[in-house]
Amino acid sequence: MAAAPRERGGAARVLVVGAPGGAGWGPVVARVGALDARAGPFAAALVCGGAAPPAEGAREAARAAKEGRVPVYFFGGGSAAGGEEALAAVEAEAPGSLGDAGLHHLGRCGVRRLPCGACVAYAGGRWRPDLPGGGAAGEGETAYGEAELGEVEKAAAAQEGDVDFLLSEEWPEGAAQGLAGAPEGAPRGSRGGLRLALSLRPRYHFASFPGAPHWARAPYLNADLGAGAHVTRFVSLGSVNNPEKNKWVNALQVVPASEMELSELHKVPPGTTPCPYSLAPGPSDGPPRGKRRAEGDAPGGQGWRWEGQGGGGARQGGAPPGPGIVQDSRKTVFVKNLPFSASRDELRDHFKACGEVIELRWNRGRDGRPNGFAHIQFDHVAAVEDACKLDGSDFGGRKLYVCPAGEGAAQRGPPQSVGHCWFCLSNPACETKLVYSIAGETYAALDKGAITPSHSLIVTIQHEPSSLKLSDSGYKEVWSYLDALRLAYEAQGLAFVWFERYLALRNKEGGNHCHVNAIGIPAEAAGAVEENFQRVAQTSGFKFDVFDPKDADGALEKREQLRDRVGDMEYVIVGLPGGRILFHPIMRGERLPMNLARDAVACAAGRPERGDWKNCKSTPEEEEKLVAGLKSAFAKFDFTS
């Protein structure tokens, strides 16, 4: 039964199989074929653990896999080429016996995106920090070391979207730490597995080895590094045909993370726990582990079915908005203890005296009944205070719990630097030679792909997602830089334009690092800026709205005006010459070109080719000269000196 082509955004059906161990590969392909015939078609079968099959076993497995039309992927092997050598022998003896639906060796350690769209990371053997190059750790034993672990982390960071599956032959250290219901005698796990789980943040982590128990851990919430947080489901599978009859095959449906809406990716099912690995004891033999965050209890009380793609719950403030609704947590309350018998109209009526309800997000559980919690968004911020006065009020025979949407949710700790982010000043790779001014919470630097010689970036020192999420003092600094740069550029006879594009960038650890582009362009080009932005917007199917913040009393009032317009959404904000502001909240499902703002400014400046960052590379000597020019022109207006 051949799998039908999967549309982008559709679910892929995948089988995950435990370690073959001493049972061999015959039972693996037999079970995969039987499941495909009975409940298929499946897009892939992932064999979790085990070395390359011997030539005879590989030939049998390849034939069965091809007949069943389910591609089977395995990893591991006594050497990096061990699996490939076994498969090459099969192909030599029986040309064409493998094919697209046969056996596929992924290698010992690495990251691969499968034809079904799923991103799979894998680490074969056991963790040996004293084995820099990996490979054979002893007779009949394989291992991976520091070098291979680093390569897996690097490959995962380069992928679009988060890692869907992490496959390992060991448990990560601390998986069962402090958790009731863990299997008796649960493995301690390895620090290498812990590092992979923390750095890759997979959506599903499967582990299997001979003698492994079957255990589906409650999902845990990864730390929010600026792009939002998603859960990981850790599952231990028994080895193939194990005598304890532990479950060794798992079937599930997964939409690849690279194709998911953020609101779906970030859903948190009931029963979710904090990340366990921050609790793991012992000294680190790798990079520092993430600090434990205080996590709020996930709302609702439904059971969790790990076989599916997630429960119906959502974090407070995290439920997806309806079409055309600009989600704004400042105007939203979280309500729980709702009776299942209540209707949406009854809930609206209960809160209508507080203000106009523009959005009621009240999802249904797997049983079809409404969840016991909801988010209610009003048309203005003041309505939240009135709505909270209904805390404890009777609704359908139950006392309601009402609080502001952000209250009671997991509180974000202070911003943390992210190791590989080139904007974080603490990162050794950060090009500090481009920096020409540093304030308390922000700094100004030459843009590495400058559109004009007067192209600066205003960047937060710590890893913050966007300017609208900064502290009051941080946001005031951003506007101090904008005002000072405007004066500096005008003194040179240039017009001033700035823009910020906030994207969560879910495929990068830590997400977006806040940076505002501030550019001096020829004065005669000032009149073309708004026209160019509206033109590039039209090609992407939208139109910028515009407002004039001239009556705003300082930076913080400007921030409130912008928040009223873009809420908690991703956005593009543009400051025009003369002070007016263009804005566009990026709605759910909307896709905008990455170069949109650069293209508009570059065209207005008469340098359209520089809309593409790749066309703007400079030599170190050229960069040094540009930085010196910016520093000299800005010195008179630098408020930090």
Query: Which of 64 and 146 is assigned the larger pLDDT?
Result: 146
Q: How confident is the model at residue 625 (pLDDT cuts 50, 70, 90)?
A: very high
Q: pLDDT tens, 338-370?
A: 887 888 899 999 999 999 999 888 866 545 556
- Per-residue pLDDT band at 259 (split at 50, 70, 90): confident
- Please tell me the predicted confidence (pLDDT) of residue 300: 26
Q: What is the pLDDT of residue 46?
A: 94
Q: How far is CA 600 from CA 514, 546, 592, 607, in A?
A: 20, 16, 13, 10
pLDDT at 61: 57
Measured CA to CA, the distance from residue 49 to residue 25 in angstroms comes to 12
Q: At what angle do helices 82-93 and 55-68 cross, to 10 degrees?
A: 70
Angle (nearest 5°) at CA 615 between 614 and 621: 95
The predicted model gives 184-190 an average pLDDT of 84
**For residue 438, how many C-alpha atoms fall within 13 Å in the half-sphere facing its CB?**
8
User: Quick one: average pLDDT of 600-622?
Assistant: 87
Handedness of CA 135, 139, 142, 147 (dihedral sign): negative
Can you give the pLDDT at residue 264? 83
Host H or E run for residue 500? strand 494-502
At residue 272, the pLDDT reads 86
Are 575 and 482 spatial neighbours (Cβ–Cβ below 8 Å)? yes
181 against 415, higher pLDDT: 181
Report the SS3 class of residue 516: strand
Distance CA 607, CA 618 (A): 16
Residues of the chain with CATH 3.30.70.330: 329-404
Q: Which residues lie across from 445 on neighbouring strands?
A: 435, 457
Which tokens is 179 given?
């958790």
Pick the CATH number of 12-279 from 2.60.40.10, 3.60.21.10, 3.30.530.20, 3.10.105.10: 3.60.21.10
pLDDT in tens, 227-242: 668 999 999 999 988 9
Mean per-residue pLDDT, 438-459: 94
Q: Contact at 8 Å (CB) between 514 and 552? A: no
Confidence of residue 472 (pLDDT cuts 50, 70, 90): very high
Which whole number is the average pLDDT over 285-297? Answer: 33
Per-residue pLDDT of 394-447, as tens digits, reads 998 889 989 998 654 444 445 555 656 778 877 777 788 999 999 999 999 999
With 0-12 CB in 10 A as exposed, 13-18 as middle and 19+ as buried, what is 46? buried
Give start-end residues of each CATH 3.30.428.10 domain in the chain. 432-637
pLDDT band, residue 210 (cuts 50/70/90): confident
Mean pLDDT calculated for residue range 267-279: 80
- Among 190-194, 293-297, 510-514, whose mean pLDDT is lowest? 293-297
Q: How far is Cα 164 from Cα 347, in angstroms, rounded to an integer?
A: 37
Residues present in the chain in total: 641
Contact 66, 102 (CB under 8 A): yes
User: Residue 287: what are its φ and ψ, rounded to 5°?
Assistant: -60, 155
Q: How deeply is 621 buried, as exposed, middle or buried, from its count of CB atoms within 10 A (0-12, 13-18, 19+)? A: exposed
Per-residue confidence (pLDDT) for residue 503, from 0 to 100: 84
Only one residue has tokens 């018998």, namely 341
Tell me which residue has tokens 């897009």: 43
Give start-end residues of each CATH 3.60.21.10 domain in the chain. Answer: 12-279
| Cα–Cα distance for residue pair 11/255, rounded to 1 Å | 4
Percent of the chain having pLDDT more than 90?
A: 39
Mean pLDDT estimate for the chain: 80
* Fold category of 432-637 in CATH: HIT family, subunit A (3.30.428)
Higher pLDDT, 507 or 143: 143
Q: In this structure, are strands 273-274 and 220-221 parallel, antiparallel, or unpaired?
A: parallel
What's the first-to-final CA gap in the chain, in angstroms? 71
CATH for 329-404 (3.30.70.330, 3.10.20.90, 3.40.710.10, 3.40.50.1580): 3.30.70.330
Match 């309806």 to its residue by tokens: 322
The C-alpha angle 435, 455, 638, rounded to 5 degrees, equals: 55
Binned at pLDDT 50, 70 and 90, residue 248 comes out as: very high
Question: Encoding tokens for residue 158?
Answer: 């380069």
The amino acid occupying position 265 is: L
| Listed ranges 92-96, 140-144, 414-418, 558-562; the one with the highest mean pLDDT | 558-562
Helix, coil or strand: residue 468: helix
* pLDDT band per the 50, 70, 90 thresholds, residue 613: confident
**Cβ neighbours of 583 (radius 10 Å):** 17
Residues 6+ apart with CB under 8 A from 538: none
The Cα–Cα gap between 175 and 97 comes to 40
| 605 close to 522: Cβ distance less than 8 angstroms | yes
pLDDT, one tens digit per residue, over 569-583 is 899 999 999 999 999
